[in-house]
Structure 1
C-alpha cells in the first residue's frame, strides 16, 4: 500500500505540475513575444524619428529660401516663393503624419511595457492591434521602405492575439475606431498641433492663395 500511495502522490504531483506549466508557459510565450514586438517597435520609432528630423531640416531650409525670395521682391523671386510655398505645404503634411505615427507607436509601446497580467495582455492587445493596422498603410505610403517591417509587426500582434486565446470574433481584421485607439490618435494629434503652432513658422499663405486664384482663373 505504501508503494501504491507513493506512486499516486508522484503521479498526482506530476499532473498538478503539468497543469501549472500549461498555465504559465502561454503567458511566458506571450511576454517573450511582447518583448520582441517592443524591440521591433523601437526600431520603427527610431526610423520615423530620423525621417521626421530630415523633413524638419528640409522644411527649415526651404522656408529660408522663401524668406530670401520675398526679401528680393521682384517678379521672378515672387514666383519662386510661391513654388517653394506649395512644396513646403506637402513637406509639412508628411512631417506631421510621421510625427503622429511616431507618437502613436510610442503610446502602444508604453502600454505593452506596463502590462503584467495575462488578463491585461488580452485587453491591451486588441486596441493595439487595431491601431497598428490603422497606421501601417499611411506609414507604408510615406515610407515604402518600412512596408515589410510594418507587415511583420502586424503579424507579431496577430500571433500574440492568437496565443492569448482571444476569441476569433474579437480580433480586429481592419482598423476600426474605438475609445482606446481614438484616444491614442487624438492625444498624438493634440501634441502635434500644439508643438507645430508654437515651434513651426507658417509658410507665406498670401502668396499661396494668390497662386491658387491664378491657377483657378487659368482653368
Structure 2
C-alpha cells in the first residue's frame, strides 16, 4: 500500500467526525421528563430539551476536533516513517490531544470492546452500548447513526461509534505484519485490539459534560 492510499484511508477512518448525525440521542431524557402535565412542567421539559441539545452539539464539536487533530498527526507520521511511527503517535499524541480537549469540565476519550491501551477499557454502560452499536452496524446501519447519550452520576455522557477503516486493519486487522505486530506489543504488552474487519465497529468516542445544573 503506497503513501497516497495510506492518507486516503486515514480520511475514511475519521470520516465519522465529518458526518455526525443531527438526530437526537437515543437515551436523551429521564423518563420523568417525558410527562408534561401543567404548563409549568411543559416549560421545564422544554428547558431540559434545549439544554440536552446544546450538550449534544458541544459533544459532537469536541469529537470533530479530536478526530481532526489525530488524523493530522497520523498523516504526518505515515508520511515520515510509516505505520511504526503511527503507532508511537497513537500512544503519545492521542492521549495528549484528548487531554487538551478535556477542559471546562468536559472530558473526551475513546473506548472499544477490544482495547490496545487498558486505560481505555469500557465500563458496563459503555460495553453495553458498544455491543448494541456492533449489532446495528452488522445489520447495515450507518456508523454515523450509531450514537447515544445518558445521565451518569448526574453528568451527561455522549457516545459516537467509530467504524473500522482500511487503515485500521494495518494495526488492528487479522493479518498484521509480524515486525509491526512486534512493535505494537512492545508498546502495548497487554494489547487486545487485533482481529478487526471492515464489518466491525472499532470503538467509540466518549464525551462527558459538567454536572447538569438544576433548572428550578
TM-score calculated relative to the size of structure 2: 0.40
More strand by share: 2
Q: TM-score with structure 1 length normalisation?
A: 0.39
Which structure's CA Rg is the greater one?
A: 1
